[in-house]
Structure 1
Amino acid sequence: MGVFHHFELGRRRVLLTLAAILVPIAVACSGDPSQAQTTDPLPSWNDTAPKKAIVAFVDRVTTENSPDFVPEPERIAVFDNDGTLWVEHPMYTQLAFALDRVKDEAAAHPEWKDKQPFKAVLEGDMKALAAAGEKGLVQLIMETHADMTNDEFQKVVSDWLATTRDPKFKKPYTELVYQPMLELLDYLRANGFKTFIVSGGGIEFMRPWAEQVYGVPPEQVVGSSIETQFEMRDGEPTLFRLPQVNFIDDKAGKPVGINAHIGRRPIAAFGNSDGDLQMLQWTTMTGGSVRFGLLVHHTDAEREYAYDRDTEFGRLDEALDAAAINKWTVVDMKADWKEIFPEK
């Protein structure tokens, strides 16, 4: 993503946030209730049930002296990343990164030509790669994301995102973020919420760009990680990445990661797949304050993708059934979103 485009995304977020804060003040001062309709903090959302549910929830927890009021320090909202904030098909973005890393590093690893799952990647054999399963994918991640410092890895990630294009949309992945969710992040922050990313993706893979793209600073990113160790290298203190799993922030790992990194139970959780089920359960299935859970259902094959129960990436099956039982809000992308990606 170019510097100018990043500036424009940031500018739009600032303007939306200011509008969400200043318009109610202006209306109160003018005494004209009709002006309340002039600015919509969620303009890319159709005026359907999900938008109404979001606004009603925010109103309930931010209205002082009401039984549902939640003090600002407790207004914690957690968001999955893949499929919730940006695209996850035809494969997770970090997996695409790992596959490119195998190709880039193959010359230094001649043994990969005869070693699975690296052989499958180099030969473009997606069937053999799929057969390697989760164990094989973890092996790819370990060997392509390690043996370098954290700073070196973050530069590799930033360079890859700046030069790589999504195969379908022919755009940088950081432009394939969902405009309605960007607005939602801004809307919540304008109403005193602290927003966190809680993803099965790598924590150091997301941190280099999450603040610029989502307005979420690196300390509010929770994700999977590999082992790192402190080393002095040429007189410089560094953190060196090791080819060993430290923590998997997915499924039942998400509540554990939230507790370890955030230390407060969220009052709102946003996801799109079975990998987010336990996060939504942890957030909503408890007593105390009003709670909110939302799932993004990919139903728009024309503007993005349509998938749910029968997919390898972002399967929405058990969580979709749980949504009906627990009365979580389900967003139908085709019906509920006016636009998918930010306009240039």
Structure 2
Amino acid sequence: MNQLTSKRPTFYYCRSILWFLFLSLSVVAHARSIDPLPSWNNGTTKSAIVQFVKSVTKKGGQDFVPPSERIATFDNDGTLWCEQPMYVQLAFALDRVQALAPEHPEWKTTEPFKSVLANDIKGVMASGDHGLVEMIMATHTGMTVEEFNQISKYWLALSKHPKFKRPYTELVYQPMLELLSYLRANGFKTYIVSGGGVEFMRPWTEKVYGIPPEQVIGSNVKNKYELINGKPVLMRLPEINFVDDNEGKPVGIQQFIGRRPIAAFGNSDGDLQMLQWTAATNAPHFALLVHHTDAEREYAYDRNADFGRLDTALDEATKKGWTVVDMKKDWKRVFPFEKP
């Protein structure tokens, strides 16, 4: 064997090692370059989110926040999924009135049920909060928690959005799903804090958002423990227990989480107090509002909206320097079913 031949194994071994190192470094570089928010357009909004997350997760940094304190709260309607042309739970309640009407002939002459049966949404809204509460009590109570969960899940499985002709659970915002995942990947614990009914949301939030039932805070009715045929159940009573909206959101956060969030996300005046509570500290914090500006891909509404009105909170965001998402400008796509 000549000298050149004897050196070939060493040469090929070294070349293999170098090639392996090159591939390894390439994989690492690619992993670092992966965009955690691919459905967000590059700009000040996306940069603000990323910069905040980097600052509170950098060990040794002046804004570092321990993982146990990284609490992020999200409104649901209009922040995580579509709330137009009406709140999804209101659509559910209207359908429940139609379904239960044969058992209640008195509804034909009693508001707001009379307007519901006549498909007169303006008449329903004219009944005010009292009428809406009466409708919720008539359609959401008088059954066990398990029975209500099954009814609501069945309705969500069959019902479709009037504009998009898709199940409501597909009308979630892809950029916000990415934001939820991004935060959790960086040690945040994510909560829903919504004015919607807690038992209406809990059966599906884990599958859709990755948020388990125990991290969902919402409005609720009173429950009563009973034994039916020897079986323990929780009966839903026609009495309001807690309204998790406006001033109720900080109260619910303190009651059920026990920590002030360092990040809060909303879209309407109903979220104002949650964002104020989050921002009322000298510690690192982040407050964001989703502004619906895209009439083509979703809806455009703010100060004069019947549902999800964004007026006072929008002024407050400008005054306090909170981050405001311009849906049309900041999001590459709105829903998961859109082509990326």
Provide TM-score, normalisation by structure 2.
0.91
Structure 1 unaligned segments of length 5 or more: list them: 1-25
Q: 1:19 aligns to what?
A: none
Q: 1:313 aligns to what?
A: 307
Distance in 1 (CA, whole Å) between partners of 2:83 and 2:122 is 19
Letter in 1 for 2:55: R
Q: 1:323 aligns to what?
A: 317
Residue 82 (1) aligns with residue 80 (2)? no
Distance in 2 (CA, whole Å) between partners of 1:31 and 1:125 is 62
The superposition leaves residues 225-273 of structure 1 with CA deviations (integer Å, 9 ceiling, x where unpaired) of: 0111000011110000011100000000000000011011000000000
**Runs of 4+ with >3 A deviation:** 31-38
Residue 166 of structure 1 deviates from its aligned partner by 0.5
Letter in 2 for 1:94: Q
Distance in 1 (CA, whole Å) between partners of 2:115 and 2:27 is 66
The 3-state SS of whatever aligns with 1:98 is helix
Letter in 2 for 1:168: K
Residue 283 (1) aligns with residue 275 (2)? no
Aligned length: 317
Q: 1:339 aligns to what?
A: 333
Provide TM-score, normalisation by structure 1.
0.90
The superposition leaves residues 98-141 of structure 1 with CA deviations (integer Å, 9 ceiling, x where unpaired) of: 00000000011111111100011001122221210111111111
Letter in 2 for 1:102: V
Q: 1:293 aligns to what?
A: 287
Distance in 2 (CA, whole Å) between partners of 1:224 and 1:177 is 21
Distance in 2 (CA, whole Å) between partners of 1:154 and 1:295 is 30
Match of 2:149 among 137, 149, 154: 154
Q: 1:57 aligns to what?
A: 52
In the superposition, relative to structure 1, how do residues 292 and 107 fare at CA in structure 2: closer, same or farther (>3 Å)? same
Distance in 1 (CA, whole Å) between partners of 2:247 and 2:125 is 23
The superposition leaves residues 138-191 of structure 1 with CA deviations (integer Å, 9 ceiling, x where unpaired) of: 111111000000000000010000000000000000000000000000000000
In the superposition, relative to structure 1, how do residues 97 and 63 fare at CA in structure 2: closer, same or farther (>3 Å)? same
Residue 228 (1) aligns with residue 214 (2)? no
Question: Which residues in structure 2 correspond to 1:73-222 (within 5 Å)?
Answer: 73-222=68-217
Structure 2 unaligned segments of length 5 or more: list them: 1-20
Distance in 2 (CA, whole Å) between partners of 1:323 and 1:104 is 42
Tell which structure's C-alpha radius of gyration is larger: 2
Residue 37 of structure 1 deviates from its aligned partner by 6.0
The superposition leaves residues 267-308 of structure 1 with CA deviations (integer Å, 9 ceiling, x where unpaired) of: 000000000000000001212x21000000000000000000
Distance in 1 (CA, whole Å) between partners of 2:112 and 2:27 is 65
Letter in 2 for 1:152: E
Cα RMSD after superposing both structures: 1.6
